[in-house]
Structure 1
């Protein structure tokens, strides 16, 4: 049985092992170095991009602190709101005045036409 197993299989396992060792050696010699180079390039680019992003973020942080400390922005915003509210109140008052004036004129015209109609019938 052992002899039959050795004859059928022969040196296939040994040949397969040698091929695997050759493949591993080839990968170790060429592919690992290539992977390192590609990784280094990608990581360097990512590092540069991250440094730029951090610079931008720090600029925004500085601007935010500047505007938070500046109370005049809130004051001017409040003043603009007061002016806007006054403007809207004025518009509403003018609108109401125009509406009442229109109603008065409408009533006057109605009376005028009623008088004309009465005069025409007489």
Structure 2
């Protein structure tokens, strides 16, 4: 029987493989790029849930007004808060995840992601 820890490690490796295959190894290796993409997805989730741009900017300003935390603790806090948000929306995180994994592996979506990546490079929002 697979443990939750093993399952998460498996999906982390699959996420890495998708990024390397879709974009590049340097794209995956870039921490600034991974941070930008995470913040972008979090922002899109908050926007979809009804948070205004003003509220989002105020939240970011509040975060950056304090000392930086420690990555492992912040990852744990992010996961905990994310799961509470999913529950608040009455959704199942696993089902949402599987639907998105199926979507992003479709060839037309891969090509759309690559095109968006090239556009982001042009405006300085992604690495080469």
Q: Which has the higher contact order (CA 8 A, sep 6+)?
A: 2
Larger radius of gyration: 1
Q: Higher helix share goes to which structure?
A: 1
TM-score, length-scaled by structure 2? 0.21
Structure 1-normalised TM-score?
0.22
